[in-house]
Amino acid sequence: MDPDTACAIYRRLSKHYPIVGGRTNFIPFDNPFESLILTILSAQTTDRSVTAVRDALFSRYPTPEALAAASPAEVEPIIRTIGFHHAKAAYIVGTAQKIVESFGGEVPRTMDELRSLPGVGRKTANIVLSHAFGINIGIAVDTHVKRVSHRLGMTDSRNPDIIERDLMALLPEGTWGEVNYLLIRHGREICTARNPQHDACFLRDLCRYYAEEVRAKSP
């Protein structure tokens, strides 16, 4: 795909899924610490499940210091409805401890520092940098971004790191903070994993998947 086509896709997505108030997060948070912890918890879990435990978790552990003083066993019952809650309890307690011990109780603002925290990979770091600090040095690639960008023809890869580089090469830097949100919305609402809604899709004339897999097989 060429950059002009990618920008046309971005413009249509932006029009169809308007961003209100500049907020591109799906899970509400009040500060960078909450953004980080909630993003760790959201891996392979629905946003609804994470939002459901938010108040209980932060009413008991509102700061890195409070969470760092807890044990994973104390945290686990609060987040038990979340997938992989046992591992994630250890991750968020360990992350809080490192924030207190290594970063003076403040959530770090660089990719490398964030990735030094337990349970934080590049996708999580990209999300926190963008949502909590307005720093967009990359594009978070989750399962929706991976599927939609591949179907559209914005990438030929299934590797998240390569997909991120492909998207960054196609789209202006000023769009990077919105691309994750827009592709997720499209992946959830129209370009679903099963039975994508081709008739409702406003991108089908630009979509490689539609051209190759659907239109080509039409009688």
CATH no. for residue 114? 1.10.340.30
Are both 61 and 122 inside the same structural domain?
Answer: yes
Enter the pTM of the model: 0.90
Q: Say if 128 falls within a structural domain.
A: yes
- Residue 78 within any structural domain of the chain: yes
Overall domain count for the chain:
2
Shared domain check, 56 and 110? yes
Q: Are residues 145 and 126 in the same domain?
A: no
Which residue, of 133, 154, 173, is where some domain finishes? Answer: 133
Specify whether 98 is catalytic: no
The reply to whether 113 falls in a domain is: yes
Are residues 154 and 80 part of one domain?
no
Q: Domain check: are 127 and 168 in the same one?
A: no
pLDDT at 216: 63
In the residue annotation, 123 being an active-site residue is answered as yes
The answer to whether the Cα torsion of 14, 19, 25, 27 is positive or negative is negative
Read off the tokens for 216. 């080509």
Q: Same structural domain for residues 149 and 197?
A: yes
Q: Of these residues, 2, 4, 55, 123, which one is catalytic?
A: 123
Alpha-carbon distance 166 to 156, whole Å? 9
Question: Are residues 97 and 147 both part of a single domain?
Answer: no
User: Looking at the domain assignment, is residue 71 inside a domain?
Assistant: yes
Q: Give the pLDDT confidence score for residue 28 in this predicted structure.
A: 85
The residue among 68, 100, 133 that closes a domain is 133
With a cut of 70, list the residues of the chain below it in pLDDT: 21, 215-219
Given 142, 166, 199, 217, the catalytic residue: 142
Q: Domain limits at 65?
A: 32-133
Residue 96 lies in a domain: yes
Q: What is the pLDDT of residue 219?
A: 58
